[in-house]
Amino acid sequence: MSTENEGTPDPAEQAAPSAPPTPPAPPKEAPQPAPAPQQAAAPEPQPATRADEPTAVQPPVPAAAPAPTPAPEPVTAPTAAPAGGWPPPPPAVPAWGAPHPPAPEAPRRRTGGLVAAVLVASLVAGGIGGGIGYWAAERGDNGFSSTTVSSGQAPASFKRDPGTVAAVAAKALPSVVTIQAKSGAQEGEGGTGTGFVYDQEGHIVTNNHVVASAADGGTLSVTFSDGKTYDAEVVGRAEGYDVAVLKLKDAPKGLTPLPLGDSDKVAVGDSTIAIGAPFGLSNTVTTGIVSAKNRPVASGDGSGGSNSYMSALQTDASINPGNSGGPLLDASGAVIGINSAIQSTSGGFGQSQAGSIGLGFAIPVNQAKNVAQQLIRTGKPVYPVIGATVNMNEKGEGATIASQGSGGTASVTPDGPAAKAGLKAGDVITGFGDHPIDSGPTLISEIWTHKPGDSVKITYERDGKTATATVVLGERTGDS
């Protein structure tokens, strides 16, 4: 719908038809200021000027035929109508256009203003804001080409402050790698995982289950974020911890290790950033928080091997298959954990389950650091032990020392740490250090956060009575 006939009538529209093309009559033009209170001042001289031009050559003729317009009318009556050859009187409402070309100019300017006003209203109603609406209204006379506002200074002046996700990711990505593992079998089984630069010598830390398929006769390749790929070999693996260390065969100079944080000082609610290759999508960054600490997790890779145990950091940062072995960073960019397992909707924990549901688990970096150093030194893992076999199936009442060990051996190793602390078969361990114990896997997860030789207070129940003892942890070398 046209906007020219909407709203209050424009005073200029009343002035335009009041001046038909007549001979100049200066004495009769004088009364025209009478309707001035209702008309705009600017358009009034324009019709008079234009009327003089086409009638200047006509001689004045005494008034005869047309009757004067009644005085109450707000329009100027024709005076001294020509006789003889003068054409018949003009129609009551003269045609717009040729006789008065200036008259349409004012409505066009107001129409542009009205359209601008409508545009401004729609912008404000849409939530864009008064600033853009004002910008559009100010340029209404020149037409509308765009209502987009751009900041020409942004690309040159915008900086990402340290601590932002973008800044942390930009600094960490060059030190995170995607690992391709292929087994030595004829089918070429393997998978994709993640790792990160541990030192300048070319050591890469990752999960054991990422490289297990290639550990015996397979091949490993490591690709950096810049696309450069290097061959790698396994230095050592710790199946129980689910930690492995690789080394680049031809390590480039200038490697930048990721800084290691302190997982013991992490607090629930701290920000987390996970970097990995979920489903093969390298250099993927996700964010979340530390959802919980000391979460006991027993996970397996689905290959029939032994489970790994961890007192894990739980995070809601999106972790999927392919993120395994990648770093879990804090807000400063320091590694606080190694992403290792997720909870699936089908129940149970695993390293190769379906997509993330916001329950991811990472090996605390303090534990992973100790394991990595041991693997680099000797190539074999060392586990702290209490020298007792506990029931791994019961849950909720603590960790019960079994009646006998594997193969019919004694459940409490003679002269072992538990025996020296006075523990016996049937005792139920309910506390290890400051952490409550509700099952065998939970106990193992807590034991493995310590080192051989550490002294730890144990709370246990025997015959319905609670007692405490101090155990000095022993050690076991290798995964056998």
Query: Is residue 434 flagged as an active site residue?
Result: no
Q: Does residue 337 contact residue 368 with C-beta atoms inside 8 Å?
A: yes
> What whole-number distance in Å separates Cα of residue 480 and Cα of residue 478?
6
Q: Does residue 326 contact residue 277 with C-beta atoms inside 8 Å?
A: yes
Query: Is residue 427 flagged as an active site residue?
Result: no
Q: What is the DSSP letter of 155?
A: H
Helix or strand holding residue 26 (H, E): helix 26-29
Residue type present at position 225: S
Q: Does residue 233 contact residue 257 with C-beta atoms inside 8 Å?
A: no
Q: Annotated catalytic residue: which of 324, 340, 411, 439?
A: 324
Q: Annotated catalytic residue: which of 242, 301, 316, 427?
A: 242
Strand, coil or helix: what is 270? coil
Q: Annotated catalytic residue: which of 18, 203, 209, 291?
A: 209
In whole angstroms, how far apart are CA 8 and each of 4, 5, 71, 467?
Answer: 10, 8, 26, 94
Angle (deg, nearest 10), helices 130-138 and 105-125: 170
Tokens matching residue 408: 């019919």
Q: Does residue 364 contact residue 346 with C-beta atoms inside 8 Å?
A: no
CB atoms within 10 A of CB 158: 8
> What whole-number distance in Å separates Cα of residue 314 and Cα of residue 292?
5
List, in order, residues 6 or more apart from 86 with CB less than 8 Å away. Answer: 58, 61
Strand, coil or helix: what is 245? strand
List, in order, residues 6 or more apart from 341 with CB less than 8 Å away. Answer: 297, 299, 310, 312, 324, 349, 350, 351, 360, 361
Q: In 3D, which of 48, 42, 34, 32 has the Cα closest to residue 11?
A: 42
Query: Is residue 242 flagged as an active site residue?
Result: yes
> Which residues are marked as active site?
209, 242, 324
